[in-house]
Amino acid sequence: MSRGKDGFESSANQTMIIATRHLIFRDEGRTTDIPIRIHAPEKAEVDWICRFEIGWPEGKIERWGTGVDAVQALLFALQMIGAEVYASSQHQSGRLEWLAHGRGYGFPVPDNIRDLLVGDDKRFL
């Protein structure tokens, strides 16, 4: 294994995408795909990380959740995705959707921002 520019060891898992979701942003008659990619958790020097990407119209962001094991890293990555989506200007505009307008996006969020949840997310997550 070699150490990447982010300070974490890179491995074959780094590029393995284990899940994707596509949100839709509707703006002035245009539909823009917002891809979300979740990578397999990987062992870092001490703990585990789970990388993810969100392809916003303004540019792709790449982040990761960290945990004491792969499951916790994945959970934290999912919560971070939920936080990024719910805090986004696209969500705040009311024109972001997943399955249908106003149903939510299917990602958990940390407890301190649960008041932002809408639709099915508010009912089930």
What's the rounded Cα separation, in Å, for the pair 22 and 77? 16
The pLDDT of 7-34, averaged and rounded, is: 80
What's the rounded Cα separation, in Å, for the pair 65 and 39? 11
How many domains does the chain divide into? Answer: 1
Instruction: Print the domain residue range for 102.
Output: 2-124
pTM: 0.87
Q: Mind listing the pLDDT tens digit for each residue in 58-72?
A: 999 999 999 999 999
Separation in Å, CA 96 to CA 32, 77, 101, 111, 115: 9, 20, 7, 22, 17
